[in-house]
Amino acid sequence: MKKLIQFMIAIVLVSAVLWYAITELNSAQGYSGGNTLTIYNWGDYINMDVVEQFEKETGVKVIYETFDSNEAMKTKIEQGGTTYDIAVPSEYMIDKMIKEDLLIPLDHSKLPNLGNIDDRFMDLPFDPKNKYSVPYFWGTVGIVYNPSMLDGKEISSWNDLWDEDLKNEILLIDGAREVMGMALNSLGYSLNDTNKEHMLEAKRKLDTLTPNIKAIVGDENRMLIENEEAAIGLVWSGVAAEIMWENEELEYVVPVEGSNLWFDNMVIPKTAKNVEAAHQFINFMLDAEVAAENTEYVSYSTPNKAAMPLLDEELTGDERFYPPPELTEKLEVYENLGKRNLAYYNELFLEFKMHGK
């Protein structure tokens, strides 16, 4: 028993020494628990140079983690293992997180740079009056393709992808909403359709696309298309812009039947430990020069109107990536479909993926 007690005391002493050493190290670097900010964002979705600039200007240490889906992000925040101070969900997930009381209302008095955001990206249905979220980037879902690999063939419609000449030429995003939405739009339905017969019809149509599909992938689609290993990709507009920067022969189109208009916004989760620094960071990212620098790196469309004059006019004048209001008004924002409908979307998408194996 005496040896056990001595062992326990030794563990306590070692733990105390380690805690003291870590505390002193953080102190020496100018950081402490009170001035650390934990950010949860999509992969490769920020210029780390601006993050370093924020750290230098404020003395706040940024811990940066990434996720690959809205659902994974929400689950981890709900579990509460890591107390994220900022997250960057998409519009339908913001609506869901508001309804499930997972977000903290923003203090707009601490966000003077909010006036830099274009009015058409404010006060949207998923977050009226932007009580919980601030626009970060926006864009569309469409088709990037290589005309030289298609003998000059042009693509303007979702239905063009079912052409028998496109066997083994298409890369799809590994996302149920994007792929099911594509199929629903190709049939003339809304990408938020919850009619089970329509959803099943969309899945059956997707099954007939299988011979043309080379792979269903994540971020690898950039490399595969750049290397001309596939002629066509279902992509987000920012990914298309990055690929086209490397290969100017590529084209990007939002199909005539319609598509998704998406928004990613910055929010403060309910479990945040540093709400003050979270507001500081959001306001910092809304600065015109910071937003411009971040946009040049990320390549997605910025909602920051004050940053627009600081960007290359060749970029901001490209209607493929900065479509005019008359086009964006025809596109659809993903809606929160509810657990049952979303589960059915995911079930059908999984069946479709298994169909080609």
Burial 321-354 (b: 16+ CB within 10 A, else e): bbbeeeebeebbbbbbbeeebbebbeebbeebbe
CATH classification for the domain delimited by 139-261+330-355, as one of 3.40.190.10, 3.40.50.300, 1.10.10.60, 3.40.50.720: 3.40.190.10
The pLDDT confidence band at residue 34, using thresholds 50, 70 and 90, is low
The pLDDT confidence band at residue 30, using thresholds 50, 70 and 90, is very low
The pLDDT confidence band at residue 356, using thresholds 50, 70 and 90, is low
What average pLDDT score do residues 159-179 get? Answer: 95
- For residue 198, is pLDDT > 50? yes
Residue 317 CB neighbours (<10 A): 10
Whole-prediction pTM: 0.81
Q: Which pair of tokens denotes residue 143?
A: 């088709």
Q: Amino acid identity of 175?
A: G
- Kindly list the distances between the CA atom of residue 281 and the CA atoms of 51, 52, 57, 200, 339, in Å, as whole numbers in the listed order: 9, 11, 11, 44, 32
What average pLDDT score do residues 352-356 get? Answer: 85
CA dist., res. 331 & res. 210, Å (int) = 26
CA dist., res. 350 & res. 305, Å (int) = 40
The pLDDT confidence band at residue 327, using thresholds 50, 70 and 90, is confident
Amino acid 77: pLDDT: 96
Q: Return the domain boundaries, the chain.
A: 1-30, 34-137+264-317, 139-261+330-355
Contact 139, 180 (CB under 8 A): no
Contact 275, 85 (CB under 8 A): yes
Q: Which pair of tokens denotes residue 161?
A: 């992808």
Amino acid 1: pLDDT: 47
Strand partners, 39: 64, 86
CB contact set of 124 (below 8 Å; sequence gap of 6+): 91, 263, 333
Question: Which residues contribute to the annotated binding site for spermidine?
Answer: 92
Burial 233-266 (b: 16+ CB within 10 A, else e): bbbbbbbbbbbbeeeeebbbbbbebbbbbbbbbb
CATH classification for the domain delimited by 34-137+264-317, as one of 3.40.50.10210, 3.30.565.10, 3.40.190.150, 3.40.190.10: 3.40.190.10
Q: Give alpha helix (H) positions in 214-331.
A: 220-226, 237-246, 275-285, 288-298, 313-316, 325-328
CB contact set of 317 (below 8 Å; sequence gap of 6+): none
| Residue with the two structure tokens 């507001």 | 279
CA dist., res. 188 & res. 278, Å (int) = 42
Could you give the 3-state DSSP secondary structure of residue 50? Answer: helix
Identical topology for domains 34-137+264-317 and 139-261+330-355? yes
Amino acid 240: pLDDT: 93
Amino acid 315: pLDDT: 85
- Kindly list the distances between the CA atom of residue 254 and the CA atoms of 50, 72, 106, 156, 171, in Å, as whole numbers in the listed order: 31, 27, 34, 7, 16
What average pLDDT score do residues 166-186 get? Answer: 95
Question: Which residues contribute to the annotated binding site?
Answer: 92
